[in-house]
Chains A and B, each alone.
Chain A
């Protein structure tokens, strides 16, 4: 109990903890909201492709500008991630290559180039000093107030875009062909929504890293889907779960020695997913199991069928 109250006080007084918790909360908020669309559109893997593809952008941004500013590096990541998504869209729309093949190609090619550039930089300019390698697995402890502002600014823009095009994105996710028949520029909307996804991913790279970032996009939304049948509520819950996972991951890793923040955040959100899968009313496994038991109890014939099945 004392530990908890100490933590609570530290959350407001300890600069590092406060910064890391705030940054993680922003990352959870933005990726939770925008990840909803990735999950609903069956594009869960695009997060993985984009985050890996962002790596060469970070290295190139450093190589070209020599700057270590988070904003500069993240803009590089944004550009590379964006180019990768355009490649994926273009390659898969030719119908000769399937969507998942395009994803796999973009992921490995961009990530390979990124690793190559990183190795080159490490030998020459000392990327270790620049902290570039932290983007691989993320290192939340390197966050400073300025980084949190950068994340919040980019995330705010992403959320604003999502709010402005709310109904268009909903139609794009549910029935794109009907949207096009109405005359909506569905392809442009697709590019815009995917661009916002890139923004959401790039925000988390410094904290969670390119390898694990896609979990932050998928997990909160996947958990939220279990609890509701309304898109609005789903986005709200995904935001809540994202923030919860971000802050609790930051807190837990601050208490337990040598526990990295990024993976702890990802494990926290995974725990939320597991709980949701089991306990959510109606969709949850526990509820389904109870319902089945009740219905077989009421119908002896069904119970026999059920036992035979086993």
Chain B
């Protein structure tokens, strides 16, 4: 039995007394490639942020690699939603990737030749090394996503938390990202991905957490990703529930 990479206990998060996450219990085993799925407003991003201690929970606790997040933050690579930043910021791709090393560099030190090499290597892994000096305002959606992935890769973390990395990217990038996720899994990394596309979910991921404020179901895709659970997660609002049936069965 693998150890727990992430352990969430009785987690409740509320904005203005309205619960966004309610009493979540969830364990991610080490080396798992797991998707978080659920309708809009289900608390998927909030869960990622609560794991990284970016917001204060009303109740409950989170352990990462058995410890408080603060003690293991170097082991966690975060890929925020692409739309969460201003891509008109005056900087280039390599510079954004270097930001992944700021925690390790420490105060007052600037990235040097060694760090630049590492950043280039990370860009190579996501297939955009040639864009290193490109202004970030000139990137396509897929290239923006690859830049963010490279920024997390350069951290050389053991756990990756990714918020909708497939959102609005072209088919080539989607292919490249899923290859990268599999590669990370082969290297023994734990990868948690907020994922919207129920059609591709069973193909891309080995485990799933179905979330709608409460935990609806969690576990290996074969067990948790059932019609019944999807209906309970999305209510009656989902029309293509039948489609992934063959893959889940």
Which of A's residues lie within 8 Å of B, judged by CB? 40, 42, 95-96, 164-168, 170-171, 173-175, 177-184, 225, 228-231, 233-234
Residues of B within 8 A of A95 (CB): 15-16
**7 A-B interface contacts by CB (under 8 A):** A167-B105, A177-B49, A178-B99, A180-B54, A182-B100, A182-B103, A231-B91
Taking a contact as CB atoms under 8 Å apart, the answer to whether B70 and A178 are in contact is no
- The majority secondary structure among interface residues of chain B is mixed
Q: Please state if A229 and B90 are interface contacts (CB–CB under 8 Å).
A: yes
Give Cα distance in the complex from A99 to B92, angstroms. 29
Contact B86 A174 (CB under 8 A): yes
**Quick check: A40 and B78 within 8 Å, CB to CB?**
no
Which of A42, A167, A175, A228 contacts B110, CB < 8 Å? Answer: A167
Collect the chain B residues with CB atoms within 8 Å of residue A230's CB. 90-92
Q: How far is the CA of A177 from the CA of B84 in the complex (A)?
A: 9
- Residues from chain A with Cβ under 8 Å of B108 in the complex: 164
Let me know if B90 and A225 touch, CB within 8 A.
Answer: yes
> Closest CB of chain A to B107's CB: distance in Å?
8
CA distance A233 to B95 in the complex (A): 14
- Tell me if B137 counts as interface (CB < 8 A to partner A): yes
167-215 of chain B: CB within 8 A of chain A: none
Q: Are A182 and B102 in contact (CB under 8 A)?
A: yes
With contacts A95-B16, A177-B49, A180-B54 taken as known, whether A170 is within 8 angstroms of B76 at the C-beta atoms is no
> How far, in whole Å, are A72 and B105 apart by their CA atoms in the complex?
39
Is B1 an interface position by the 8 A CB rule? no
The reply to whether B102 and A168 form a contact with Cβ atoms under 8 Å apart is: yes
Q: How far is the CA of A168 from the CA of B91 in the complex (A)?
A: 14
The one of A164, A171, A174, A181 that contacts B52, using a Cβ cutoff of 8 Å: A181
Interface string of B80-104 (1 = CB under 8 A from A): 1000111001111000100110110
A174:B102 contact, CB within 8 angstroms: no
B9 within 8 A of A: no
Q: Does B74 belong to the interface (CB within 8 Å)?
A: yes
User: A166 vs B73: C-alpha distance in the bound complex, in angstroms?
Assistant: 22
Q: CA separation between A231 and B90, bound complex, in Å?
A: 5
A residues in contact with B15, CB < 8 Å: 95
CB pair A166–B99 under 8 Å, yes or no, is no
Between A and B, how many residue pairs show CB distances below 8 Å?
A: 77
User: CA–CA, A99 to B24, complex, Å?
Assistant: 31
| B side interface size, CB within 8 A | 33
Task: Choose among A165, A183, A229 the residue that contacts B70 (Cβ–Cβ < 8 A).
Answer: A183
In the complex, the answer to whether A184 meets B103 with C-beta atoms within 8 Å is yes
**Residue from B54, B135, B151 having most chain A Cβ neighbours under 10 A:** B54
Interface 1/0 per residue, B117-130 and A, CB below 8 Å: 00000000000000
A182 / chain B contacts, CB cutoff of 8 Å: 73, 100, 102-103, 155
Beyond contacts A174-B91, A229-B92: 11 other A-B pairs, Cβ-Cβ < 8 A, are A96-B16, A167-B105, A167-B110, A167-B111, A175-B80, A175-B99, A177-B80, A183-B73, A225-B90, A229-B90, A230-B92
A108 to B139, CA, bound (A): 42
CB pair A170 B49 closer than 8 Å: no
- Closest chain-A Cβ to B116's Cβ sits at a distance in Å of 14
Please, how many angstroms separate the alpha-carbon atoms of A229 and B134 in the complex? 10
Instruction: Output the least CB separation between B75 and chain A (Å).
Output: 11
Assembled-state Cα–Cα distance A40/B90 (Å)? 9
Q: How far is the CB of B207 from chain A (nearest CB, A)?
A: 22
A2 to B10 CA separation, bound complex (whole angstroms): 80
B105 proximity list for chain A (CB < 8 A): 167
Judging by beta carbons under 8 Å apart, are A174 and B80 in contact?
no
> Residues of B contacting A225 with CB < 8 Å?
90
Q: Which of B53-69 contact A (CB under 8 A)?
A: 53-54
- A225's nearest neighbour on chain B, judged by CB, is B90
User: B204-239 CB contact bits vs A (8 Å, 1 = yes)?
Assistant: 000000000000000000000000000000000000
Contacting pair B54 A181 (CB below 8 A): yes
**Are the C-beta atoms of B84 and A40 separated by less than 8 Å?**
no
* A183-B84 contact in complex given A40-B89, A167-B102, C-beta closer than 8 Å: no
When distances are taken between beta carbons in the complex, the residues of chain B under 8 Å from A229 are 90-92, 135, 137
Cα A181 to Cα B76 in complex, Å, equals: 8
CA gap between A180 and B84 in the complex, in Å:
14
**Contact partners of B73 in chain A: CB under 8 A:** 181-183
Q: How far does the Cβ of B29 sit from chain A's closest Cβ, in whole Å?
A: 22
Residues of B with C-beta under 8 A to A180: 52-54
Shortest Cβ gap from A217 to chain B (Å): 17
User: In the bound complex, do residue B80 and residue A178 qualify as a contact, i.e. CB atoms below 8 Å apart?
Assistant: yes
What is the CA–CA distance of A231 and B53 in the complex, to the nearest angstrom?
A: 30
For the complex of A and B, the 10 pairs showing the least CB-CB separation, nearest first, are A182-B103, A181-B78, A183-B73, A229-B135, A181-B52, A175-B85, A229-B90, A174-B89, A231-B90, A234-B90
Min CB gap B176→A, angstroms: 21
- A257 to B247 Cα, complex, angstroms: 84
Whether A174 and B103, one on each chain, are in contact in the complex, defined by CB atoms closer than 8 angstroms, is no
Q: A181-B73, A181-B76 given as contacts; is B49 within 8 A of A171 (CB)? A: no
Q: What is the minimal beta-carbon distance from B115 to any residue of chain A, in angstroms?
A: 11
